[in-house]
Structures are given as structure tokens and as C-alpha cells.
Amino acid sequence: MLFVLICCGLGVPLPEDVPLIIGGYLAARGGSLPAMIATGLVGILIGDSIIHRAGQTYGERLLGTRLGKHIPGEKVQRTIHLFEKHGAKFIMVARFVPGLRAVTYFVAGTTGVPYWKFILFDGLAACISAPAWVAMGWWAGKNHMLPRAWRWAAEANTWIFVTLGALLAFWALVGHLRRRARRRRGEPIDTPIPKLRAVGGGAARRIS
């Protein structure tokens, strides 16, 4: 299961809840629940750390490639600015969104989010999701109800998406109201974006 979870962290299109539930189910049939939870956490954090490191190492080079040149510089600056301002929120939210996770962690490395900060917030989120999924698999194994566990997992993922969607909509509404209030007062609508300079291979980095 450790290898599978590392692969999930690297972007393999397999939801993390699948191997975690299976791991809990197998542990219930003859294993240790704490050991399985620890294995799940280690696998998750290793995979996420590799993605973050890849962003640190190759993120700027990617911006300097033919593909990166098609990304407007203004968009890159705004993305980096938003991540610097709300990085912790993005890291924790991405943990619960499979399609967003790898991209977010790669950007975290690219934008220079310190590893200790990244692993702290990613670890906090993982300490919620991993034990919950493993415990569900453990319960399913003890009660011979694996099909019901899959249904509950699907329902839980749906509620997670709905909740996150509602929070994002609320955040966008609050931002819109704040911008409108600033416009009425004649204040700048957006916070000035830090200027970036080109470094090694055309990549952009914020000037300190």
C-alpha cells in the first residue's frame, strides 16, 4: 500500500481513499490498525514531498520551455501572488481534491513555499483524511461490509466537493463585495502584484 499511495501523490489517477480503505480492510483481517494508519500517512507525505521537490527543481525550467512561454506572464505573477497570500489554505484544501492536489503541490514548490510549511499544512490535512479512510476500511473488514464502505466513501467525496464548492463560492462573493466597496471609495481594487525578474532559462521569480 505504501508504494500505491506514493504513486497517488505523484498524480496517478487513483483516489487515495481506495488504497486506504483497502489497507484498513486488510488490517482488520489480520493486522494492526495504528500501523496501517502510520503506513498510509508515510506514503501520502512521501508522494506529496516528491511533487513539492519537483516544483522546486523543475518549476522554473518549465516556465522557460516552449510550453511555458505560452503562459502569459501576468497570469504567472497573479498565480504566484495568490499562492503567497493563501498558500496554507490551498495546500490543505488540495488534500481533499484529487485532481487539484498534484498541481497545487507542484506550484507550492515552484513559488518557493518552504518545505517545513508545506509539510506542516499538508500533514495536518493528511492526519484528517488518512485515519478516517483507514478506519472506514477497518470497520468494513470487521463487519464484512466493504460494499457499504465504498458507498459511504462515494457519498463522503460528494459532500466534500459540495462543501468546498460552497466555500469557494462564498470566498469569491466576499472578494467581489470587497472590490466593489473599494471601487466606491476610490481605492485600488487589487493589491499591487510583486514584480518578477527572469532567471535561469526564462523562469520568473519574485524580487525580494
Question: pLDDT digit string (tens) for 94-125?
Answer: 787 766 777 788 888 887 888 998 999 999 99
Q: How far are the Cα atoms of 26, 32, 39, 40, 121 from residue 35, in angstroms, in the given order?
A: 12, 5, 6, 9, 22
pTM: 0.68
pLDDT of residue 202: 40
Q: Is the pLDDT of residue 70 over 80?
A: no
Give, as one character, the DSSP assignment of residue 55. H
Measured CA to CA, the distance from residue 138 to residue 26 in angstroms comes to: 8
Q: Is the pLDDT of residue 32 over 80?
A: yes
Q: How far are the Cα atoms of 55, 133, 153 from residue 142, in angstroms, in the given order?
A: 41, 14, 17
Q: What is the pLDDT of residues 167-203, one digit of tens each?
A: 767 767 877 777 777 777 776 655 554 444 443 344 4
| Overall number of domains in the chain | 1
Measured CA to CA, the distance from residue 69 to residue 85 in angstroms comes to: 25
pLDDT of residue 208: 37
User: Within 13 A of 96's CA, how many CA atoms are on the CB side?
Assistant: 24
More confident residue, 55 or 82: 55
pLDDT of residue 207: 34
Measured CA to CA, the distance from residue 82 to residue 99 in angstroms comes to: 19
Q: What is the mean pLDDT of the chain?
A: 75
Look up the domain containing 92 and give its range. 2-206
Residues 186-203 as b/e (b if ≥16 CB within 10 A, e otherwise) read eeeeeeeeeebeeeeeeb
